[in-house]
Amino acid sequence: MSREAAFFDLDKTLMAGSSGMQFAKAARERGLISRAQIFRWGRDHIRYRIKGATDDETSEILKVARETLSGVAYLEISRMWPEVLAGILPRIYPEVLSEVHRHQDEGRLTYIVSAAGSDMVESLAQVLGMDGGIGTKYVVENGAYTGGLDGPFVYGRGKVVAIENLGKEIELDLEGSWAYSDSASDLPMMELVGNAVAVNPDAPLLEKARLEGWKVMRFDRLGRNLAIGGTVAGALLVGGIGGWLSKRRTG
């Protein structure tokens, strides 16, 4: 029998701000990016928090990410994920996490769908107790990233491709499924399912949501408290990610 699912965008939907900024901080500490780059990304992060990102800006982000990863050891990037997740977890919106739990209680599968790297997205989904994370995959050869993509860039129409690929593996009832996002760039994903929810939407998405009668959720403050047992328990969960990744690589 086909199953229903709920798909959650990450940046400014499941979390406040950009996961890319947390990656940039960790990459800077390891010398993977320059001080000038981190300053520019910080400026862009503030602008993104205020008005979102255009398609051209997102393409530029992808270009920089590919250039940054090219030639870097897979193991080095993998060791960054606990630190990156530690920066993301305090920014999770409790209101959206409650939606995740509601869908789980009603028997739906729950997924994060993001342009961010697949390993990080899968790790975050694991920590939050979700069924999976769908992110952008990069080619790894001889233990290092080549800078090439291994599949679609999971942004815009790419999210539709990724969800449809998942649908080939497991039978999904998309008409009975849900999608959550803050940006009009995710309209292809939101129109793919029968139930769309606009979360802190940008102006074009808000206009579309009003036209279609979609639910709109608004809460622009940072999520400070996760329902995972407090700061200490959260730190323990993040610490366990390193072992999970090691087992994943060994497998």
pLDDT the model gives residue 70? 76
Most confident of 25-29, 86-90, 229-233: 86-90
Query: Would the pLDDT of 182 be above 90?
Result: yes
User: What is the C-alpha to C-alpha distance for residues 220 and 227, in angstroms, rounded to an integer?
Assistant: 19
Say how far apart CA 139 and CA 70 lie, in whole Å.
Answer: 9
Alpha-carbon span 26 to 72, nearest angstrom: 14
241 DSSP β-pair partners? none
Q: Catalytic pick from 11, 44, 119, 131? A: 11
Nearest to 245 by CA among 170, 133, 98, 107: 133
Distance CA 250, CA 244 (A): 10
Q: Report, as an integer, the average pLDDT of 144-157.
A: 88
pLDDT beyond 90 at 165:
yes
* Beta-strand relationship, 178-181 and 195-199: parallel
Give the range of the structural domain holding residue 91, as residue numbers without chain letter.
5-250
Catalytic, 150? Answer no
pLDDT-wise least confident of 70-84, 184-198, 210-224? 210-224
Lowest mean pLDDT among 173-177, 202-206, 230-234: 230-234
Q: Are 126 and 118 in contact (CB under 8 A)?
A: no
Task: State residue 65's pLDDT score.
Answer: 66
Is 90 exceeded by the pLDDT of residue 53? no
Say which residue, 81 or 195, is predicted with more confidence. Answer: 195
| List of residues 6+ apart from 220 with CB closer than 8 A | 16, 200
Overall domain count for the chain: 1
pLDDT tens digits for range 89-110: 999 999 999 999 999 999 999 9
pTM value is 0.79
Q: pLDDT tens-digit profile of 235-249?
A: 333 344 444 444 444
Mean pLDDT of the chain: 80
- The per-residue pLDDT for 63 is 67
**CATH number of the structural domain spanning residue 108:** 3.40.50.1000
Percent residues over pLDDT 90 in the chain? 51
Count how many residues are written for the chain: 251
Task: State how far the Cα of 108 lies from the Cα of 86, in Å rounded to an integer.
Answer: 27
Active site residue 9: yes
Contact 199, 178 (CB under 8 A): no
What pLDDT score does 17 carry?
85
Which residue in 9, 44, 182, 186 is the catalytic one? Answer: 9
